[in-house]
Amino acid sequence: MERKAFMIRLNPEKVAEYKELHANAWPAILKQISACNIRNYSIFLREPEQLLVGVYEYHGTDHDADMAKMGEDPETRKWWALTDPCQTPLESASPGERWAPMEEVFHYD
């Protein structure tokens, strides 16, 4: 199992919409998350900076392949069409990168 964490900025005018979407996440999206070997997935919001941090456990053997599988799913693409406009990648993100990966520097279990 690997722990993964990612960060992105939430557009201030989209906070309520983003929270509402995630309060009512589509069953197909939750099923796809599980199918891609993701468990214990949480998204945290830090206001007033409008920073979103996503944290999950990856229980598969090929993270890149599972993320590609997720990106090819039609329902996930519809979901992202709603959530992507709510977000702005960090200034430090690589070209084409939305959620910027974070390095784990400490974990206590």
How far CA 23 is from CA of 1, 17, 18, 43, in Å, comes to 27, 10, 9, 11
Contact of 60 with 67, CB cutoff 8 Å: no
Contact of 16 with 93, CB cutoff 8 Å: no
Task: Kindly list the catalytic residues.
Answer: 22
User: Which one, of 54, 44, 43, lies nearest residue 4 by Cα?
Assistant: 54
